[in-house]
Amino acid sequence: MRSSWLAVLLVLLAPAARGGVSAEEAARLDRELTPLGAERGANTDGTIPAWSGGLSAPPPDFRPGGRQVDPYPGDAIQYTVTAADLAARGHLLSDGQKALLEAHPDTWRLNVYPTRRSAAYPTWVYEAVRANATQARVSLDGKGSVADARVGPPFPIPKSGVEVIWNHNLRWRGARVERKEGIAAVTRLGRYRVVLLDQLLGLPYGARRPDAFGKAHPNVLLALKAAIVAPSRLANNASLVIEPIDQTKDARKSWIYDRNLHRVLRLPWIAYDFPAPYSDNLRTIDDFWLFNGPPDRFAWELLGKRELLIPYNAYRLHADDVDAGDLLGRHHLEPERARYELHRVWVVQGTLRPGAKHVYSRRVFYVDEDSWQIAVAESYDLDGRLWRVNEAHAVQLYDVPLLASTLEVFHDLKERRYLVNGLDNGTHAWRFSEGSDPREFSPNALSYDVR
């Protein structure tokens, strides 16, 4: 009881807002740090190389507008980590990754390749982040928000855990993105059904210049519209979610189009630990992208940085010559398709605040220093036991350029099952455009799109 009152007191005494760093400290982004705030230099033993600008130009065999081809086809496996190697290699793994190896000692392994610091972004994104470093402010009032930031991560030199969470939420992902995504919840027997969706993502925060969407709705972080393509019994059902930056001011809004009713319906507010659609209750709404939404229900602690084996340059999972059957094993992905590399990550721990409601009591995120994307996430149940282990398998979209997850995998240790988001093999690649129109993301557009 005393610890609960102490936690409440600390929250009340915490400053309502925190500001950016000084101009002198921000100058580090031009010297020992990359434009996004990562360490430019190699690690002491050279297993993590220095950042040299990332992969910003496509390889010779890439066709503009086509699927991202593997730029490192000649890379060989340096070593493999199995359950038998935990004593020797365990310091390079998170607790969740160790738990997955121990749960599947005969079938799961991590094939480790040379580290390629491929993450790269447009110059104008770097310029915006440089300005954010001294100007951006995080507010701790209400559900929390960020002010005086634009385009990309607001805190490239973070001082707190919540700043790292906002860097992930506000990382640059383009301004308007079209893609197809397949979702598969794999049973204990290895069976699954792929739910295929057409997605349109509007990100007015990430527009180079304020677009029509951002001008009309300046508090919108993103809007996600999705229409089901398959299976046929679900086809033409659609959904729309509008996600504000400051959810104290404006709550998240969501709608669905029901093909049987031929009507657009406003949904109750869906966020936080609400079970995600088509997930068989294997992930929550705020597990999407490994975390999304307001950070207010957890107290975030920045635990520092460490070196970790994380999924990276996962072009074998993204390839056009494979399908779900080649990727999805009974208990996990086919290990020969996954690629792991040693990278530096920020480690952030979230502890459920006294009186807050969530199915998780604690979360630990491992955030890639070069992109601010969460690469590995661990979630603990209300009894403090490790429950779910999630990973984002990223590729560099060198024609944008941008690092993005091509596949997200959610492991439920209790159910001994897993869920995959992001299956896009055999479909069109991501399509990016400069800006979005608010009319594309109106509830009326849901019924219009599926006629």
Selected residue with higher pLDDT from 16 and 393: 393
Q: How many CB atoms lie within 10 A of CB 5?
A: 10
Mean pLDDT, residues 272-286 taken together:
96
CA distances from 255 to 227, 291, 327, 443, 444 (A): 12, 21, 32, 7, 10
Q: What is the pTM of this model?
A: 0.94
**Segment 16-52, tens digit of pLDDT:** 566 789 999 999 999 999 999 999 999 999 999 999 9
The gap from C-alpha 144 to its chain's centroid, in whole angstroms, comes to: 19
Determine contact, residues 380/390, Cβ cutoff 8 Å.
Answer: no
Dihedral sign for Cα atoms in the order 345, 294, 264, 256 = positive
Instruction: Please enumerate in sequence order all residues whose Cβ is within 8 A of that of 276, keeping only pairs 6 or more positions apart, or say none.
Output: 283, 284, 285, 287, 288
Distance CA 70, CA 116 (A): 12
Distance CA 179, CA 199 (A): 5
All structural domains of the chain, each given as residue ranges with its CATH number in brackets, are 17-449 (2.50.20.10)
Determine phi and psi for 435, rounding to 5 degrees.
-155, 170
Determine contact, residues 50/42, Cβ cutoff 8 Å.
Answer: yes
pLDDT category of residue 270 using cuts at 50, 70 and 90? confident
Mean pLDDT, residues 437-451 taken together:
81
Distance CA 127, CA 172 (A): 12
Distance CA 365, CA 390 (A): 10
**Segment 281-299, tens digit of pLDDT:** 999 999 999 999 999 999 9
